[in-house]
Structure 1
Amino acid sequence: MTPWSETPLFGLVATLVLYELACRVQRRWPLALLNPVVLTIAALIALLQLAQIPYDHYRHGGDLLLFLLGPAVVALGLPLYQRRAEIVRQLRAIVLAVLAGALGSVLSACGLVLLCGGDRLLALTLAPKSVTTPIAIGIADTIGAITPLTAAVVVLTGCLGALIGPGFCRLIGLRDPLAMGLALGTAAHGLGTGRMLEIHRGGGALAGLAIGLNGLLTALLIPLLLWLLEWLGVLVG
């Protein structure tokens, strides 16, 4: 008989139960650091380590939840549709802002890796860090990056953005909820969007738009930038 921990049901049930508990903790102590996603990730890591359960066993069920990320991103189209007139009026500014964010994300990630002595492979792995997980994994596979590490960095980026993003925006004087939503969606994809929806529905709608735009632009930009940097000799070897 197959142990329960090796069935897809284990990863699915463990994630959902721990997330529900994390949500209750966050409702009891409504602190930004107690983000339910962050708490769930930490609890899952602790559970697998303490019970000595291989990650591959958990992944059988975890992949079911990963599959749902695609429909979840599509579902963000509803608040976008509700604010379509406002979005159309500002579409040019929105696209330019997300393009700047996509460029900044890719160049800063690759630049920091190279400045710290990292190699080409690590730079490529971190390049799509601000793109939603399904798109980031596709980009990583295409450019020959370390796909599991890319996925981990994407989740870490989203968690960090959800935790400190709103506070950082206010610190630098960015208080308009729509602009804040655009920034969080571009930098912290789904997790940042989820946090923004808690703060302001309109800002969450723009964050959802930014997820799609950033994914599209980054998927187009990374191969182009890769070719350019290799032509310049920056990413050789």
Structure 2
Amino acid sequence: MMIWLAIPLTVLCYLLTRKLARKVKSPLVNTILLPALAIIALLLLTGQDPADYQAGMRPLSLLLELAVVAFALPLYQQAAKIRRQLGPILLCCSLSVLISVCTTLLIGALVQAQPQLLASIATKSITTPLAMSVSQSMGGIPAIAAGLVIIVGMMGAMIGFPLLRLAGIHHPEAQGLAMGASAHAIGTGAAAEVGTVQGAFASLAMVVCGIATAVLAPPLFHLYLWLMY
């Protein structure tokens, strides 16, 4: 039964949350978080098999690939502005990756976390397919990496812009880069809702940080293992 109800229930939850978000201006009213929690609660209360829900959502899941490709449109629209600032953008994204991976490894060393867990956490700020692939190449657990990516993305979408405004960061390009670098595709979607400039720069940061993480995370992780073990 859940196979046939999966898409209607998901769309209904999304539309209701979106309507609520227009009335209640709160970062907690998130169009990704609330529908996800509602679906999880429904599956638990009714005892339905999550695999049936996943099978029913297969058509929408296939559309995600097209949605990611659509992020190229704001990039094209802002191409001239991006070319003028390409050097600082690449530098900022590379520093973002270094800070993300190194702080993860440093905190892991302080709490004596297992290397397998650290390999799963280190890729938390890039999009899910890349995070799973890179973490697996380092000996991590792809399922944990995917779960953390979703959590980080949701947190970024909810509190990213309020934190940026609180820190006095109002420049649209800077806001976009910060969201794309820290909250990957979910944050990029949130940035696109705020403005086309934020969406374009978030898309760029998501791509650059994904590539930089794939290049930098494995050697940094192996250096950590060599120093600690």
TM-score (norm 1): 0.89
TM-superposition CA deviations, 1:203-233 (whole Å, max 9, x none): 111001111111111111111212222222x
TM-superposition CA deviations, 1:119-146 (whole Å, max 9, x none): 1111111111110112212223322322
Structure 2: distance between partners of 1:60 and 1:142: 28
Q: Does 1:134 align with 2:129?
A: yes
Please say if residues 105 and 224 of structure 2, whose CA atoms lie closer than 8 Å, have aligned partners that are also in contact.
no
> What residue in structure 1 maps to residue 93 of structure 2?
98
Residues 135-174 of structure 1: pairs in structure 2 closer than 5 A: 135-174=130-169
Please say if residues 70 and 134 of structure 1, whose CA atoms lie closer than 8 Å, have aligned partners that are also in contact.
no
Distance 1:62 1:142, change over 3 A: farther
Equivalent residue in structure 2 for 1:23, among 12, 18, 21? 18
> What residue in structure 2 maps to residue 227 of structure 1?
222
Unaligned runs of 5+ in 2: none
Residues 2-17 of structure 1: pairs in structure 2 closer than 5 A: 4-5=1-2, 7=3, 9-17=4-12
Please say if residues 73 and 208 of structure 1, whose CA atoms lie closer than 8 Å, have aligned partners that are also in contact.
no
Q: How far did 1:64 drift?
A: 4.7
Structure 1: distance between partners of 2:65 and 2:223: 31
Q: How far did 1:188 drift?
A: 0.4
Aligned pairs, number? 229
Q: Does 1:35 align with 2:30?
A: yes
Q: How far did 1:182 drift?
A: 0.3
Partner secondary structure for residue 36 of structure 1: coil
Please say if residues 182 and 210 of structure 1, whose CA atoms lie closer than 8 Å, have aligned partners that are also in contact.
yes
Structure 2: distance between partners of 1:24 and 1:41: 16
Q: How far did 1:152 drift?
A: 1.2
Calculate percent identity across the aligned residue pairs: 37
Q: How far did 1:67 drift?
A: 4.0
Structure 2: distance between partners of 1:62 and 1:152: 18
Distance 1:57 1:110, change over 3 A: farther
Q: Does 1:57 align with 2:52?
A: yes
Distance 1:62 1:103, change over 3 A: farther
Partner secondary structure for residue 180 of structure 2: helix
Structure 1: distance between partners of 2:199 and 2:190: 8
Structure 2: distance between partners of 1:151 and 1:124: 12
Please say if residues 141 and 147 of structure 1, whose CA atoms lie closer than 8 Å, have aligned partners that are also in contact.
yes
> What residue in structure 2 maps to residue 116 of structure 1?
111
Please say if residues 185 and 207 of structure 1, whose CA atoms lie closer than 8 Å, have aligned partners that are also in contact.
yes
RMSD: 1.8
Partner secondary structure for residue 33 of structure 1: coil
TM-superposition CA deviations, 1:169-224 (whole Å, max 9, x none): 12222111110110011000112112212222111110011111111111111112
Letter in 2 for 1:137: M
- Shifted more, 202-211 versus 166-175: the winner is 166-175
